[in-house]
């Protein structure tokens, strides 16, 4: 009798705890009711950005929901996701009249590549069951060292190594007899060791039997600065440089 | 019920009997209890959180290639770890759980607390953890160390604001902290410090870098209708406007505009004769060539400082002066003409140079700029004549909103400390803050929310709404979070001070000319001035007189790829000579004598050797052009006439160590030997350019 009573109390207590634990997090998207359903999700802008750890990316991430004909779908529910530490503002929403949803992204606290996802539900024909399509977007977060490298690239290297011109900075790439390698050119740069990169930055092209058009920077940049530059080159490499560390993705 | 209490009683008495029935038994039981109670402390220690993490760490490293090394590192200091730095006030036990922070080989480990610390310029032993990350250093549980718990109110700093910690010691901009640098610039550029005092740890106050216009003569410049529209929404006039939106009601905006116009005094005496001189000024009379105004705008390099929003909505141009997209809606033609004639009459301290425009040029440019209008902007603004009550109410509002903190206004004194001081905002006690419902109770969230939407904390608050991008809000928050108690209380020896601001002032007539031409808006000399154009501190050692004088009269382009160039000011011969004399006499480096090497007469063998070095060993043609037929380098200045432009001794010393001649220049130091530097100098000095080429450029 005592035992059963105790057990009952215990049972009730456990039940209360369990339910309290369960009801703590309501479904995040429960407030939004999609009014449209698409079949495809495409990235409009904001992918492949280079940001800094923990900080908001400069441009918002914009995705678009399309139907089978490729026309934009209004009112489709899009949910964004990413590895721990990544925040989206908003993290989900309905597409606007042009079928797009824009979100401000802040990357996690560690330097590396971040794989983000956008997901929207598709209504399978003649079925109430919801399926979803997913879009993968990659962004890069620079840590302190890579950030220093990025600044140095901007100041010293980009004029020749970046073929893109801007109003503020006309690229010298096309003027050079021997074309420099853009820093994201992983196919070439990934094959070079850190020691080789250090040598060519410090002593110029001739150090590796390459063009003298690449001048030496060993008397201009410090050892730490050259290391920072290499860490940056490794991180933005496409395809990725595998020794550069982590790719963060949602588990 | 009765029976159950009866049975409980009997159970208890039998239990008592079993445990303490006889002395021996009682002694045994009490000893046992004592032992157990003594074991509580060691058990608590044994099952503590940090031991759990250390065990996890050992399990993690055991299967790694360098397990032995990692284990040795670990066992050198197991148990509770502490970094104690009395000077910094640091007592950090974070490394008790964050065991692998210093292990470079753990780069691939992503699970906390075992990640390696990313590479930074400081070591853990020198600075500890809380200096940068905040949180509670002495705590040994996860909750207490990281979160804002009951007794301790300092949670760890979110990664997005971590650069603020660098700003506690480093007062000058750092390469690795762009966000902090931006935030500090914004505090000054958006004029935050007009209203909020920010005292820096060295005792000086942060100074604004914006230059809000004086409104003492505003009626000469613009109309009441424009002021009204501007007050209602500054960004609808110019998207880049830094003036915040005060969310004024229609009557309030009407009354403020009435007051500002009524309080304005005229300086028309100076403007009238200039304005009268322009007949093309009349809008009905078209300029002879409609593109001539645009050409003059381009040739004068107005876009180096002023931006215009193009049809695609992009803002193109500099941000030294105001955006001009709709300037025709704002300024009166006669004012504009007088301003272009000599801006210093209306605003003696303006960053705008005094171009010596001719009368026809003034007319062209005035007509061109007056055409930059947006018909929608003032379409719905209809204001009746102001009544005295409205003017009086306007004055009241201007005082209440602290307009005079930024603008000079006749009859209103600049208020002191109009808004709360922010000197130690980064350490503001949470108990003094009223948070909004649903807000995280932490200082970064409070500051960011306050900047994002000041009036969300109460509609009666005066702080206006700024137009800021999310990244700018983060940057401002970062800069404000750096203003901590720690930043102020650190011994000066442990801080890295910023360069003290320079108030360098060139002397005499040349000094007046330089102020009139606003040289410091673009050029920097002796630590004062802008960074758009080259530093001129040692220009006198660098250039030849003839070239300098000709350049001041008619600036040619040295760097074809630049969109921002030295404008032509239409200087008189006398003024150009005055300036050249001053520059050549005063701006000389003590490092060498500029006449120590001859301008010509180098042996042809040496010149030829220099040519070889230029094209092969040093491959200077990747950035410079000597022969326009073969060379294409666009990074550095064109050197076709360098022999007529620069002094030989300057070239020589520049080649030996460019950064020593102009700190921060991007030309790499080639560690050149004396012989090579001399040969290259000889070669470059022969590059005189043909007079025809010169005329072309």
Query: Residues B63, B20: one domain?
Result: no
The predicted structure's pLDDT at residue B463: 93
Any A CB within 8 A of B15 CB = no
> Residue B496 pairs with which residues in a beta bridge?
B170
Question: Is residue B499 in some structural domain?
Answer: no
Return d(Cα B267, Cα B343) in angstroms, integer: 13
pLDDT surpassing 70 at residue B235: yes
Confidence of residue B87 (pLDDT cuts 50, 70, 90): confident
Q: Which residues of A touch B617 (CB under 8 A)?
A: 212
Any A CB within 8 A of B179 CB = yes
Query: Residues B374, B242: one domain?
Result: yes
| Total number of residues shown for chain B | 697
Nearest beta carbon to residue B118 from set A111, A156, A167:
A111
Return d(Cα A140, Cα A150) in angstroms, integer: 12
Query: Residues B368, B278: one domain?
Result: yes
> Residue A248 pairs with which residues in a beta bridge?
A114
The predicted structure's pLDDT at residue A129: 58
Return d(Cα B230, Cα B243) in angstroms, integer: 9
The predicted structure's pLDDT at residue B354: 95
Domain finish residue from B535, B558, B586: B586
Mean pLDDT to the nearest integer, A25-44: 72
Any B CB within 8 A of A102 CB = no
Return d(Cα B302, Cα B339) in angstroms, integer: 14
Q: Which residues of B touch A212 (CB under 8 A)?
A: 616-619
Q: Are A55 and B471 an interchain contact pair (Cβ–Cβ within 8 Å)?
A: yes
Any A CB within 8 A of B108 CB = yes
Q: Which of A153, A203, A212 to mutate to test the interface with B (most CBs of B within 10 A)?
A: A212
Structure tokens of B174? 């750092």
Answer yes or no: are the C-beta atoms of B520 and B530 closer than 8 Å. yes
The predicted structure's pLDDT at residue A68: 85
pLDDT surpassing 50 at residue B696: no
pLDDT tens readout for residues B484-506? 998 998 888 888 888 888 899 99
Burial letters B76-92, b for 16+ CB under 10 A, else e: eeeeebbbebeebebeb
Q: How far is A174 from chain B (nearest CA, A)?
A: 9
Query: Residues B659, B613: one domain?
Result: yes
Q: Are B176 and A147 an interchain contact pair (Cβ–Cβ within 8 Å)?
A: yes
Distance of CA B5 to CAs A8, B1, B9, Å? Answer: 19, 6, 6
Q: Are B108 and A170 an interchain contact pair (Cβ–Cβ within 8 Å)?
A: no
Question: Is residue B72 in some structural domain?
Answer: yes
**CA B224 remoteness from chain centre:** 34
Query: Residues B69, B131: one domain?
Result: yes
Any B CB within 8 A of A164 CB = no
Any B CB within 8 A of A167 CB = yes
pLDDT tens readout for residues B665-693? 999 999 999 999 999 999 999 998 764 44
Scanning A134-163 for CB atoms below 8 A from B yields 143-145, 147-148, 151-152, 155-156, 159-160
pLDDT surpassing 60 at residue A27: no
pLDDT tens readout for residues B10-65? 888 888 888 888 888 888 888 999 999 998 888 888 888 888 888 888 888 888 87
Q: Which residues of A touch B633 (CB under 8 A)?
A: 172, 175-176
pLDDT surpassing 70 at residue B174: yes
Residue B228's H or E segment, with its range, is helix B224-232
First-last CA distance in chain A: 49
- What is the per-residue DSSP string for B118-179? PP-SS-HHHHTTHHHHBS-TT--SHHHHHS--SS---PBPPGGGTHHHHHHHB-S--TT-HH
Mean pLDDT to the nearest integer, B143-160: 78
Any B CB within 8 A of A224 CB = yes
Question: Is residue B415 in some structural domain?
Answer: no
Return d(Cα B684, Cα B637) in angstroms, integer: 13
Distance of CA B237 to CAs B3, B308, B325, B623, Å? Answer: 89, 12, 8, 42
Nearest beta carbon to residue B617 from set A145, A168, A212:
A212
Burial letters B174-184, b for 16+ CB under 10 A, else e: bbbbbbbbbbb
Per residue, what are the HEC states of B48-76?
Answer: CHHHHHHHHHHHHHCCCCCHHHHHHHHHH
Exposure of B656 by Cβ count < 10 A (0-12 exposed, 13-18 middle, 19+ buried)? buried
Any B CB within 8 A of A3 CB = no
Q: How far is A179 from chain B (nearest CA, A)?
A: 11
Range list of H helices, B528-619: 539-542, 545-553, 573-586, 604-612
E strands, A82-209, are 87-89, 92-94, 100-106, 112-123, 130-142
Query: Residues B391, B340: one domain?
Result: yes
pLDDT tens readout for residues A72-102? 889 888 999 998 889 998 999 999 999 999 9
Return d(Cα B181, Cα B162) in angstroms, integer: 13
The predicted structure's pLDDT at residue A10: 52
Q: Which residues of A touch B107 (CB under 8 A)?
A: 245
Nearest beta carbon to residue B616 from set A160, A212, A224:
A212
Confidence of residue A28 (pLDDT cuts 50, 70, 90): very low
Which of B236-250, B282-296, B354-368 comes out lowest in average pLDDT?
B282-296
Return d(Cα A103, Cα A118) in angstroms, integer: 11
pLDDT tens readout for residues B275-305? 554 444 444 444 456 688 899 998 899 998 9
pLDDT surpassing 60 at residue B1: no
pLDDT surpassing 60 at residue A106: yes
- Is the peptide bond prior to B19 cis by the omega test (within 30 degrees of 0)? no
Other residues' Cβ atoms within 10 Å of the Cβ of residue B348: 9
Max avg pLDDT among B167-176, B472-481, B624-633:
B472-481
Nearest Cα residue in chain B from A227: B119
Question: Is residue B410 in some structural domain?
Answer: no
CATH number at residue B240: 1.10.760
Domain finish residue from B450, B469, B494: B494
Any A CB within 8 A of B663 CB = no
Query: Reduced to 3 states, what is the DSSP secondary structure of residue A31?
Result: coil
The predicted structure's pLDDT at residue B274: 54
**ipTM above threshold 0.90:** no
Q: Which residues of A touch B659 (CB under 8 A)?
A: 220
| Total number of residues shown for chain A | 251
Q: Are B622 and A220 an interchain contact pair (Cβ–Cβ within 8 Å)?
A: no
Q: Are A170 and B471 an interchain contact pair (Cβ–Cβ within 8 Å)?
A: no
Structure tokens of B454? 């000041």
The predicted structure's pLDDT at residue A105: 92
Residue A40's H or E segment, with its range, is strand A40-45
pLDDT tens readout for residues A115-172? 999 988 887 555 555 678 889 999 999 999 999 999 999 999 999 999 998 877 888 9
Helices (H), strands (E): how many in chain B?
33, 6
Question: Is residue B445 in some structural domain?
Answer: yes
What domains does chain A contain, in order, with CATH numbers?
40-142 (2.60.40.10), 145-243 (1.10.760.10)
pLDDT surpassing 60 at residue A205: yes
The predicted structure's pLDDT at residue B268: 58
Query: Residues B253, B391: one domain?
Result: yes
Nearest beta carbon to residue B107 from set A55, A159, A245:
A245
Query: Residues B312, B453: one domain?
Result: no
Q: Are B470 and A104 an interchain contact pair (Cβ–Cβ within 8 Å)?
A: yes
Q: How far is A201 from chain B (nearest CA, A)?
A: 11
- The number of distinct structural domains making up chain B is 6
Number of CB pairs, chain A paired with chain B, less than 8 A apart? 110
pLDDT tens readout for residues A49-65? 999 888 888 899 999 99
pLDDT tens readout for residues B539-565? 999 999 999 999 999 887 777 667 778
Q: Are A172 and B563 an interchain contact pair (Cβ–Cβ within 8 Å)?
A: no
Phi, psi of A216 (to 5 degrees): -80, 140
Q: Which residues of B touch A108 (CB under 8 A)?
A: 159
Query: Reduced to 3 states, what is the DSSP secondary structure of residue A119?
Result: strand
Any A CB within 8 A of B660 CB = no
Any B CB within 8 A of A215 CB = yes
Query: Residues B197, B248: one domain?
Result: no
Query: Residues B280, B359: one domain?
Result: yes
Tokens 């001070």 belong to B497
Any B CB within 8 A of A213 CB = yes
Mean pLDDT to the nearest integer, B646-656: 95
pLDDT tens readout for residues B419-466? 999 999 999 988 888 888 888 888 999 999 999 999 998 888 899 999
Structure tokens of B469? 């991008």
B620 vs A14 pLDDT, higher one: B620
pLDDT surpassing 70 at residue A12: no
The candidate with the shortest Cα–Cα distance to B423, out of B478, B501, B484, is B484
Distance of CA B189 to CAs A131, B164, B348, B643, Å? Answer: 50, 18, 20, 42
Q: Are A55 and B160 an interchain contact pair (Cβ–Cβ within 8 Å)?
A: yes
Question: Is residue B500 in some structural domain?
Answer: no
B570 vs B562 pLDDT, higher one: B570
Phi, psi of B122 (to 5 degrees): -115, 160
Answer yes or no: are the C-beta atoms of B543 and B342 closer than 8 Å. no
Q: How far is A26 from chain B (nearest CA, A)?
A: 16
Query: Residues B633, B518: one domain?
Result: no
Q: What is the 8-class DSSP label of residue B430?
A: G
Mean pLDDT to the nearest integer, B476-480: 96
Answer yes or no: are the C-beta atoms of B19 and B25 closer than 8 Å. yes
Mean pLDDT to the nearest integer, A243-249: 58
Any B CB within 8 A of A109 CB = yes
Query: Reduced to 3 states, what is the DSSP secondary structure of residue A163?
Result: coil
Is 0.90 surpassed by the pTM of this model?
A: no
Mean pLDDT to the nearest integer, B611-619: 94
Q: How far is A39 from chain B (nearest CA, A)?
A: 31
The predicted structure's pLDDT at residue B137: 87
Question: Is residue B382 in some structural domain?
Answer: yes
Answer yes or no: are the C-beta atoms of B336 and B278 closer than 8 Å. no
Q: Which of A3, A52, A85, A174 to mutate to test the interface with B (most CBs of B within 10 A)?
A: A52
Answer yes or no: are the C-beta atoms of A41 and A118 closer than 8 Å. yes
Any A CB within 8 A of B38 CB = no
Strands A130-142 and A50-52: parallel
Nearest Cα residue in chain B from A58: B471
Scanning B112-151 for CB atoms below 8 A from A yields 115, 118-121
Nearest beta carbon to residue A54 from set B110, B158, B666:
B158
The predicted structure's pLDDT at residue B692: 43
Q: Which residues of A touch B565 (CB under 8 A)?
A: none
Domain finish residue from B378, B395, B412: B395
Query: Residues B20, B74: one domain?
Result: no
Q: How far is B517 from chain A (nearest CA, A)?
A: 24
Scanning A55-74 for CB atoms below 8 A from B yields 55-56, 58
Confidence of residue B269 (pLDDT cuts 50, 70, 90): low
Confidence of residue A24 (pLDDT cuts 50, 70, 90): very low
Question: Is residue B503 in some structural domain?
Answer: no
Domain of B28, in residue numbers: 2-46
């Amino acid at each position: 009798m005592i035992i059963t009573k105790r057990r009952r109390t215990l049972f009730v207590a456990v039940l209360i705890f369990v339910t309290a634990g369960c009801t703590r997090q309501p479904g995040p998207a429960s407030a939004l009711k999609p009014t449209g359903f698409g079949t495809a999700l495409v990235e409009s802008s904001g992918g492949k950005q280079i940001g800094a750890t923990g900080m908001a990316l400069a441009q918002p991430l914009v995705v678009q929901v399309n139907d089978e004909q490729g026309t934009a779908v209004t009112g489709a529910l899009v949910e964004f996701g990413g590895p721990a530490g990544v925040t989206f503002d908003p993290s989900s929403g309905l597409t606007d009249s042009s079928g797009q949803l824009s979100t401000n992204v802040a990357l996690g606290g560690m330097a590396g590549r971040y794989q983000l996802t956008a997901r929207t539900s598709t209504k399978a024909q003649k079925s109430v069951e919801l399926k979803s399509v997913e879009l993968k977007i990659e962004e890069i977060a620079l840590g302190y060292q890579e950030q220093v490298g990025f600044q140095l690239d901007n100041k010293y290297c980009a004029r020749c190594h970046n073929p893109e011109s801007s109003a503020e900075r006309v690229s010298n790439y096309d003027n050079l007899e021997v074309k420099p390698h853009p820093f994201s050119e992983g196919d070439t740069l990934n094959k070079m060791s850190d020691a080789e990169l250090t040598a060519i930055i410090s002593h110029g092209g001739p150090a590796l039997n390459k063009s003298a058009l690449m001048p030496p920077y060993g008397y201009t940049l410090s050892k730490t600065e050259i290391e920072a530059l290499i860490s940056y080159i490794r991180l933005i490499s496409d395809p990725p440089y595998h020794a550069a560390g982590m790719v963060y993705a949602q588990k | 019920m009765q029976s159950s209490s009866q049975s409980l009683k009997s159970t208890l008495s039998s239990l008592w009997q079993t445990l303490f029935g006889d002395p021996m038994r009682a002694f045994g039981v009490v000893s046992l209890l004592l032992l157990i109670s003594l074991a509580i402390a060691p058990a608590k220690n044994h099952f503590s959180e940090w031991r759990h993490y250390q065990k996890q760490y050992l399990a993690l490293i055991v299967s790694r290639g360098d397990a032995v090394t990692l284990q040795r590192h670990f066992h050198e200091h197991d148990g509770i770890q502490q970094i104690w730095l009395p000077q910094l006030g640091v007592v950090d036990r974070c490394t008790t759980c964050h065991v692998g922070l210093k292990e470079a080989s753990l780069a691939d480990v992503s699970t906390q607390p075992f990640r390696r610390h990313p590479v930074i310029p400081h070591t853990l032993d020198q600075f500890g953890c809380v200096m940068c990350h905040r949180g509670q250093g002495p705590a040994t549980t996860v909750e207490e160390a990281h979160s804002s718990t009951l007794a301790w109110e300092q949670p760890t700093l979110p990664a997005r604001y971590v650069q603020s910690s660098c700003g506690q010691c480093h007062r000058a901009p750092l390469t690795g902290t762009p966000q902090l640098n931006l935030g500090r610039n914004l505090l000054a550029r958006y004029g935050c410090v007009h209203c909020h005092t920010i005292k820096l740890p060295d005792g000086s106050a942060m100074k604004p870098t914006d230059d809000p216009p004086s409104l003492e003569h505003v009626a000469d410049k613009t109309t009441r209708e424009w002021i009204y529209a501007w007050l209602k929404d500054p960004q609808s006039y110019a998207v880049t406007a830094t003036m915040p939106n005060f969310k004024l009601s229609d009557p309030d905006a009407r009354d403020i505009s009435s007051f500002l116009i009524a309080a304005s005094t005229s300086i028309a005496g100076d403007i009238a004769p200039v304005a009268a001189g322009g007949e093309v000024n009349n809008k009905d009379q078209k300029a002879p060539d409609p593109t001539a105004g645009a050409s003059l705008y381009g040739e004068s390099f107005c876009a180096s400082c002023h931006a215009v929003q193009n049809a695609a909505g992009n803002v193109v141009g500099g941000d030294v002066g105001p955006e001009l997209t709709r300037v025709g809606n704002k300024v009166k033609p006669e004012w504009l003409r007088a301003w272009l004639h000599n801006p210093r009459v209306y605003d003696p301290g303006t960053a705008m140079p005094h171009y010596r425009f001719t009368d026809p040029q003034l007319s062209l440019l005035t007509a061109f700029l007056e055409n930059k209008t947006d018909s929608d902007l003032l379409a719905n603004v209809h204001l009746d004549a102001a009544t005295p009550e409205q003017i009086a109410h306007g004055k009241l509002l201007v005082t209440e909103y602290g307009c005079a903190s930024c603008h000079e206004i006749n009859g209103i004194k600049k208020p002191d400390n109009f808004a709360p001081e922010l000197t130690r905002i980064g350490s503001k006690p949470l108990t003094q803050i009223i948070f909004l419902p649903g807000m995280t109770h932490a200082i970064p969230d409070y500051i960011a929310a306050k900047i994002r939407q000041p009036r969300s904390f109460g509609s009666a608050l005066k702080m206006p709404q700024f137009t800021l991008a999310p990244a700018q809000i983060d940057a401002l928050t970062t800069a404000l979070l750096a203003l901590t108690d720690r930043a102020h209380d650190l011994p000066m020896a442990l801080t890295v001070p910023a360069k003290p601001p320079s108030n360098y002032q060139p002397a005499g007539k040349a000094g007046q000319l330089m102020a009139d031409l606003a040289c410091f808006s673009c050029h920097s000399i002796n630590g004062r001035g802008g960074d758009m154009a080259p530093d001129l501190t040692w220009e006198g050692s660098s250039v030849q007189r003839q070239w300098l004088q000709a350049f001041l009269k008619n600036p040619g382009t040295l760097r074809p790829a630049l969109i921002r160039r030295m404008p032509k000011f239409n200087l008189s011969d006398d003024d150009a000579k005055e300036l050249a004399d001053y520059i050549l006499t005063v701006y000389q480096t003590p490092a060498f004598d500029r006449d120590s090497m001859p301008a010509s007469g180098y042996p042809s063998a040496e010149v030829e050797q220099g040519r070889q070095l230029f094209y092969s060993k040093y491959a200077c043609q990747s950035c410079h052009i000597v022969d326009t037929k073969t060379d294409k380098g666009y990074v550095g200045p064109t050197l076709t006439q360098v022999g007529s432009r620069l002094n030989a001794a300057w070239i020589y010393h520049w080649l030996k160590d460019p950064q020593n001649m102009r700190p921060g220049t991007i030309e790499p130091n080639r560690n050149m030997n004396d012989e090579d530097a001399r040969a290259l100098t000889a070669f470059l000095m022969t590059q005189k350019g043909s007079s025809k080429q010169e005329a072309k450029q």
